[in-house]
Chains A and B, each alone.
Chain A
């Protein structure tokens, strides 16, 4: 009787899966923390134009978003196919932009109220007339910092 028995050769020991839940939970927590839920559902087509000389728009708390573009397929019966502005969750007219900006500004903290940026997320197919009107409204309420949100890419993608 030797104390050191030879192990039964050949068989691989089964890999323990006991730590699998832990690993999965770790990933889960990462994504839970990193997730930013979209705060408004898009009701307009929103294919952003491409640009490569872009600056990042960090600090989500000092940005307000204005969407514009043709209404999505399911809203076209009701709202037609002309480009429209979307503020929060509903369609709006140009005259509503000023009130929206003032409301957004009032909802932010005092020290941020003067450094707010307006991000214009506008579909590439929109006419400039609508955007000029929006810009005019923004000037009226003194929201002068704007950002034309784009996707990263070469400008030539815009030309076809």
Chain B
């Protein structure tokens, strides 16, 4: 029997097959990392002895069921909220022990003593829209970030980073451990100057 040579397989359609697979994976791919506002909920156990906070150290933000904003008993647009919160946190009206040497605010005695004492209280209605709530949260976080950026630039002018950038770099898994170690105390120092004290009240029921 004559030995027949095996015919060569035509590889011309291999590209087509590969393209088909490629397009399938292109369509199903979602290359995205989720991002959002990080928050920490208070633990469940009741505080036996709630600390007494002076009225002037509380910045009340109320969002009602029609998504309107009431800040310190006065109606306000969300666009003004960031500046109002910055003015409140940065006021530095305290004297003596409570004095704040890095604040650049108006030093109004009827507003907060220092950023460490200042508390922002956010209260929403059960019928408030989630997106409005997020907008308010976003603006309040932005107010803290504005102040933290300022403090970071003042304390560590040579890093060439803002607080937000530094924080992002710190939480980035690609940053080397040595860099993280260098950033950690700086971030902690700035956070200690402007601690994020954002308290959320239980939502009110609509009558």
Q: Which residues of A contact B (CB under 8 A)?
A: 17, 20-21, 24-25, 27-28, 31-32, 34-38, 49-59, 63, 117, 119, 121-129, 131-132, 135, 138-140, 142-150, 152, 155-156, 158-159
Contact = CB atoms under 8 A, between A and B. Distances in A.
Contacts of B203: 128-129, 132
Contact of A31 (B26, B126, B139): B26
B53 interface: no
A69 B138 CA distance: 20
8 contacts: A31-B29, A50-B131, A54-B35, A57-B35, A58-B33, A129-B126, A145-B38, A147-B37
Contacts of A155: 78, 134-135, 138-139
Binding site secondary structure of chain A: mixed
Central interface residue in A52, A53, A125, by most chain B CB within 10 Å: A53
Central interface residue in A54, A155, A159, by most chain B CB within 10 Å: A155
Interface stretch (B100-108, B113-121, B164-172): B164-172
A49 B138 CA distance: 11
B170 to A, nearest CB: 10
Contacts of B156: none
Given A49-B131, A124-B130, A148-B137, 4 more contacts: A28-B18, A56-B34, A124-B129, A155-B139
A36 B67 CA distance: 37
B18 A132 contact: no
A127 B129 contact: yes
A50 B2 CA distance: 75
A147 B174 CA distance: 21
B145 A35 contact: no
B142 interface: yes
A146 B78 CA distance: 24
A143 B67 CA distance: 28
Contact of B171 (A58, A63, A123, A150): A58
